[in-house]
Chains A and B, each alone.
Chain A
Amino acid sequence: MDLFLQYLANGVVVGSSYVLVAVGLTLIFGILHVVNFAHGEFYMLGGYAGITASTAFGLPLPASLAVVAAVSCLLGLGAEALLHRGLKNQDQTSSIIASFGLAVALQNAVMVTMGPQPELMHTELAYKAIELGPVFLPAPRALIPPAMLIIVGALFAALRWTWTGRSLRAMAQHETVARLCGVKVRRVAVITFMLGATLAGVAGFMMSAVYMVHPLVGNMIVLKAFIVVIIGGMGSPLGAAAAGLLLGVIESMTSAYLTNGLRDVVGFLLVIAVLLFRPQGLFGRSLERS
């Protein structure tokens, strides 16, 4: 039972990072209908920006976080121009291919500038730990779930109660009507991409103190995020949040009680099952498959 709780906690930590990445991905998909394959690179670059700021420039953590957010916003701005504005009036598979190109370009740009060796963010936090009954978590891990809750909570509140949030939701429901009601579509698109990139960047930043970051780390992350988005129901941020935690816990339990080899496999099996039997996702409402 004690071990079970520890596995659960580990799952929640990893799941929290999935939530941050997947919520951004699902927003970009739900609002702009862009399937963003380069989303894992937002995560990867967030990690590198954080490591560079905190290790190379010796900035304190809050300042590093600000650097990560700034870099992510810039990335989001650029990605929107390429993947959304650049591909207006094209079918949705174009965005898959263009974002794949962007992912390859970003990965290799980082490979050339930073080198292929994996890096870890070193902070003084790493020497502290939190013990909750039988659960033992080093501080960098323990901070991730509460940080995720704060960020996602703030995001949902903003989506619900601010004008920007309302215009985002309006766009997700019906672009033409939203435009008729005076929603600035360009602005919404840029904000959506910046939000998505920042969420992923912050996740990458926080996880860089837990797992090594390397130029290709985004490959698996983006696939995991897609799993989460499908299980949660495409375009549903709340579903993505729930499914992200679920996937993290399921992976942790699989590697603990079955074999570690199945850890990455289980999510894909889940996706195929969900798409075959409940294509709208576990938490999605509308059934629209085409």
Chain B
Amino acid sequence: MTRAALITLAILAVGFVAAPFLLGGYELNVLMVALLYVILAVGLNLATGYCGQFSFAQGAFYGIGGYTAGILSRDVGTGFWMNLPAGIVVTGLFGLALGLPALRLKGHFLAIVTIAVQTLVYLGLVQWNSLTGGQNGLAVPPIGETTLFGVRLFEVTSLRDLYWVALVMAAVFVFIAWRLVHSRLGREWVAVREDETLAGAVGLNTTFAKLTAFVASAAFAGGAGVLNAHAMQGVTPDDFQIWISCMVVAMMVVGGRGTFMGPILGAIALTILPELTGELARYKMLIFGVLLVVCVTVAPEGALGRIRKARESRDQAASGRAPAKDPSEASA
């Protein structure tokens, strides 16, 4: 799996690096959105895929990140590079708050609380006029010039520049996710997913594991949200409805939850595929809905989950034959 994942990642990286030299503005914009969704889906995969805590609130965290950037830019006048860590921290704290009910609830009960939280955040963004600008949202300045100690480093002006920022950010977040799931903490998440009672019994702090999974997952969305706010130069509540959360869940599930590459491929595929419908553009969402039903029905473990399962059963069949030989050798 690791080697296959690395090869896939390398191919993707080459494709995404080559894209700005080959593609026009519209295609590049689609790819940038895909990168944002990669961050969201990879983040969600930490809590749901690895730690087994279902969440339909990723869109809310995406929004909280974006609004943190918007509010800071408006009231404090900070730029992108200050807003990014601020957005990640603020969203992480909200993730911690969402993690608290997760300590008591499981399965679809948890899913429904996260749906409630997602909707509350949306309604809050709409209603809290003085802070969020209500239905009209907030204007956010572009990333613009970046300076360090008064030295001008580079300037993000065109879509192409923005795309590079998105690509670097996505790469950093994917790398962090990779390190996380292969760390001790990541293994604790998997232990909690597989059997929470057992994980607790062998001395793991399941409370800590679950909370960190939620915080990490939210923080990823916060980072994506800040970038999105500066890229779109604005945020409105309607960009962060529950359908965004469901979309991210769909990307993770279609790609394969609990696999590393699955959510990445799912996010890219589900962002790009609807754009390829061309003539059928008005049926885009209709096709998306049908696809989702078909995917869940045919392969609930997702594309990569299906491949992994097939390989595991093959390995099992292979290793199943090996021990059968041992007794005959012993008797011989």
Contacts and interface: CB of A to CB of B under 8 A. Distances in A.
Given A82-B293, A104-B285, A269 B120 contact: yes
Given A105-B286, A268-B123, A275-B101, A93 B293 contact: no
A103 to B, nearest CB: 7
Interface stretch (B8-16, B22-30, B242-250): B242-250
A67 B285 CA distance: 28
B293 A272 contact: no
B104 A279 contact: yes
B289 A104 contact: yes
Contacts of B165: none
B297 interface: yes
B253 to A, nearest CB: 5
A172 B284 CA distance: 38
B260 interface: no
A55 interface: no
B105 A289 contact: yes
Chain B interface mostly helix, strand, loop or mixed? helix
A279 B123 contact: no
Given A265-B127, A272-B116, A98 B109 contact: no
A271 B297 contact: no
Given A106-B289, A289-B105, A97 B253 contact: yes
A230 B101 CA distance: 15
A61 B68 CA distance: 51
A290 B243 CA distance: 25
A87 B295 CA distance: 11
B56 to A, nearest CB: 8
Interface stretch (A8-16, A124-132, A219-227): A219-227
Contact of B120 (A90, A107, A234, A265): A265
B291 interface: yes
Nearest to A33: B108
B288 interface: yes
B101 A290 contact: no
B119 interface: yes
Contacts of A262: 127
Given A108-B289, A289-B105, A94 B296 contact: yes
A92 B289 contact: no
Contacts of B101: 272, 275-276
B119 to A, nearest CB: 6
Given A87-B297, A268-B120, A271-B116, A100 B292 contact: yes
A62 interface: no
B240 to A, nearest CB: 14
B309 interface: no
Chain A interface mostly helix, strand, loop or mixed? helix
A157 interface: no
Contacts of B291: 101
A265 B282 contact: no
Contact of B297 (A93, A98, A219, A289): A98
A289 B109 contact: yes
Nearest to A276: B101
B119 A223 contact: yes
A290 B107 contact: yes
Interface residue tally of chain B, by bracket?
Answer: 35 or more
Nearest to B109: A289
B326 to A, nearest CB: 34
A273 to B, nearest CB: 10
Interface in A92-142: 92-94, 96-98, 100-109, 111-112
A261 interface: yes
Interface string B263-294: 00000000000000000001111101111110
A97 B116 contact: no
Contact of A264 (B111, B123, B246): B123
Contacts of B113: 271-272, 275
B133 to A, nearest CB: 14
Contact of A226 (B112, B124, B249, B253): B112
Interface string A68-92: 0000000000000010001100111
Interface string B105-138: 1111101110111011001101100000000000
Nearest to B296: A98
A82 B124 CA distance: 35
Given A265-B127, A279-B109, A101 B116 contact: no
A35 interface: yes
A227 B116 contact: yes
Contacts of A230: 109, 112
Given A104-B289, A265-B127, A86 B104 contact: no
Interface in B273-330: 282-286, 288-293, 295-297, 300
| From A94, A227, A234, A268, residue with most partner B Cβ within 10 Å | A268
A97 B294 CA distance: 11
Interface in A154-206: none
Interface in B92-107: 101, 104-107
A276 B289 contact: no
Given A92-B108, A97-B250, A276-B101, A105 B289 contact: yes
Given A219-B242, A289-B104, A290-B107, 4 more contacts: A96-B56, A105-B293, A265-B124, A271-B113
11 contacts: A35-B111, A104-B243, A105-B289, A108-B289, A223-B119, A264-B123, A275-B105, A275-B109, A279-B104, A279-B105, A289-B105
Instruction: Rank and list the top 4 A-B pairs by shortest CB-CB distance, nearest first.
Output: A105-B289, A101-B292, A104-B289, A108-B286
